[in-house]
Amino acid sequence: MAAAQIAKKLKDRRQRQTLVEIFKKIDKEGNGYISLSDYFNIFTEHEIDLSENEYKRVLGMAGPDGIIRKDDFIKIIRSSPYFFGIFDKNKDGVVTETEMTTRAELAFKALDKDNSGYISEKELTKLSSRLTDEDMGVILKKFDVDGDGKLSFEEFRMMLDRNASKKKKNNKK
């Protein structure tokens, strides 16, 4: 009996720690709170439609100013079977940062071989063997918004989002 309680406490502590890390990742300014749109964007980034019930539930749990503080974020997540149903991929009752990683983040990490936080033109060539160096140069020039000769994660995600939009458009024709 005591062992089961200890295991549950460890699992709860591990889950809280993971949720704090996820919150920090969303709270880009580091001000201790996120907006409702930041929260809903979690689902958008994973291409998941939020159910109307979950949307209303979160609206009701957020502060009257539409702000979600860290502890509120943890309460919202912990009380959401919807969230766990989507993100707890191995069904162990704990949502990990890995389970919350988007396809774009996985692709970016796979290409960023030197873990610099950027994708260089050389690393970008690993994207496809069918594209020439000239093609890669054009892609880099088009999506390298700040002109530093490499793609940040945001620039890379913009490139993927644009590609996904084109595919959706072509599939509707």
Report the top-level CATH class of 103-172: mainly alpha
Is pTM beyond 0.75? Reply is no
> Which pLDDT score, from 0 to 100, does residue 116 have?
92
Question: Per-residue pLDDT averaged across 140-158, rounded?
Answer: 87
Q: Which two tokens stand for residue 24?
A: 């920090």
Topology alike, domains 2-100 and 103-172: yes
Higher pLDDT, 8 or 56: 56
Q: Give pLDDT tens digits for 133-145.
A: 788 788 888 888 9
CATH class for the region spanning 2-100: mainly alpha
Top pLDDT among 155 and 100 is at 155
Q: Tell me: pLDDT of 169 over 60.
A: no
**pLDDT digits over 42-93, tens only?**
888 877 888 898 889 898 888 788 899 999 999 998 888 888 888 888 888 7
Instruction: Give yes or no for a contact between 36 and 62, defined as CB atoms under 8 angstroms apart.
Output: yes
Report DSSP letters for the chain, one per residue: -HHHHHHHHHHHHHHHHHHHHHHHHH-TT-SSEEEHHHHHHHHHHTT-PPPHHHHHHHHHHS-TTSEEEHHHHHHHHHT-HHHHHHH-TT-SS---HHHH--HHHHHHHHH-TT-SSSEEHHHHGGG-TTS-HHHHHHHHHHH-TT-SSEE-HHHHHHHHHHHHHHHHHHHH-
- CB of 31 within 8 A of CB of 40? no
88-107 pLDDT tens trace:
888 887 787 777 777 777 78
Task: Return the pLDDT at 172.
Answer: 56
Domain coordinates of the chain in residue numbers?
2-100, 103-172
pLDDT for 42 equals: 85
List beta partners, residue 173: none
